[in-house]
Amino acid sequence: MIPGEYKLAQGTIEANQGLSTETITVENTGDRPIQVGSHYHFFEVNRYLVFDRALAWGMRINIPSGTAVRFEPGESHTVSLVRFSGPGPWFGANNLTAGCQVKTTCIEQAKRQGFIKPEVGGQMPEDGSSCVDQCSRNEVLGSRC
């Protein structure tokens, strides 16, 4: 044996056995590549990645530990997410959860910080901007129409 050498067994390793998964489509609407690591809370990834963030709450990308997926500008990828196996709390660098375990609270925080964009008729404008009718905007801000 050579010092530092690894002798690995033959066969496959099954990771995340028995954990719930979801498949989502993710689009990079930014102008730079975005890389997401294997254990990052997917709910908290870069705001320029557009996908169903509520579905990603409490999940990470389902890839081998220590690896990452790169999203190039303008590209869409279908990825598998896997539920975190521990009870939480979960944290991310964008401070959307900050250890909070209440999904609806985290979703509202993501909306306030621009990580979840309002949709118009189920469609996002082509230029990546977001639109919302004035009445809906006022309700979000606590005013009445």
Greatest pairwise CA separation for the chain in angstroms? 75
- pTM of the entire structure? 0.72
Give per-residue pLDDT as tens, 40-55. Answer: 999 999 999 999 999 9
- Please state the rounded mean pLDDT for residues 90-111: 85
69: tokens are 């997926």
Which of 130 and 75 is assigned the larger pLDDT?
Answer: 75
Q: Would you report the helix, strand and coil content of the chain in percent, each value rounded to 5?
A: 15, 20, 65
The arithmetic mean of pLDDT across residues 70-96, rounded, is 90
Residue 119: predicted pLDDT = 56
Which of 132, 127, 100, 101 has its CA nearest to residue 116? 132
The full set of domains in the chain, from first to last, is 21-140 (2.10.150.10)
